[in-house]
Amino acid sequence: MTGLAAPVAFRTEPNSPPITVRTTVQAGQLVNAPQVSFAGVAWRDYHGVLLPYSGAAGPGDVGDDRAAGFARTPLGALLAAVHIAVRANARWGPKVFEPTIDEQVIGPDAEALLASTRQAYEELRGDRPDGAALGRGYVVLEGFRWQGYSPQVASVDLVSAGPGDSDVTARAVTRIQLRWQDGDWRVVGPPGGAWSGAASAIESLDGYVRLQGGGG
């Protein structure tokens, strides 16, 4: 799951290749989303990554280092996109990424995503014990922009930033698409089961809603 050289979502160590999070599957049947209020949203540390939490919109269940239980609202979909995509990553170890992908990532490429994430984990863990997490994350969530929302499907672009080459901040926009299924939001797996190659580098947050608590 190592990703692009410049844009980027997650790095395994400060100077290692980034691990991206994005899906480009067509969502369909979308309408413009209303304004999202962040009143009552709190930002908490998740192994080095600040993530948003809402008592009303979710996640309602954060047991076992995971996150589920999101409201069927635009804010609920946005929070689900953030939390599920972050956890569907080799960085946190199989105790987190395996059940996250098994239960919260859907679509024809979900199985391939699980296989590629397992492979990435084995390549990155080095001499760490099997099952151990790979350490803290190095990414800041800065902003978002809706591609569309309905109570059935949603599509949102997330802007994240992390350390790039020569100590320059690398910023990228990644698209997360979701469906409401079995009483909660699920992320649609990326084509081919690979997050890499699906992020686009950007230079500024112009045109995006800033996530003040995340760093935007």
Residue 12 has pLDDT above 50, yes or no: no
109: left (phi over 0), alpha (psi -120 to 50) or beta: alpha
Give me the DSSP letters along 142-176: EEEEEEEE-SSEEEEEEEEEEE-GGGPEEEEEEEE
Higher pLDDT: 173 or 20? It is: 173
Higher pLDDT: 169 or 177? It is: 177
Q: With respect to residue 44, please indicate whether it lies within any of the assigned structural domains.
A: yes
Q: With respect to residue 184, please indicate whether it lies within any of the assigned structural domains.
A: yes
Q: State the first-to-last Cα distance of the chain, in angstroms, to the nearest integer.
A: 26
Mean predicted confidence (pLDDT) in 128-137: 95
Identify the domain containing residue 90 by its residue range. Answer: 10-210
Q: pLDDT band at 173, cuts 50/70/90?
A: confident
Q: With respect to residue 4, please indicate whether it lies within any of the assigned structural domains.
A: no
Domain count, the chain: 1
What tens digit of pLDDT does each residue of 84-109 get? 999 999 999 999 999 999 999 999 99
Distance CA 201, CA 167 (A): 16
Q: With respect to residue 50, please indicate whether it lies within any of the assigned structural domains.
A: yes
Which pLDDT value is given to residue 23?
A: 38
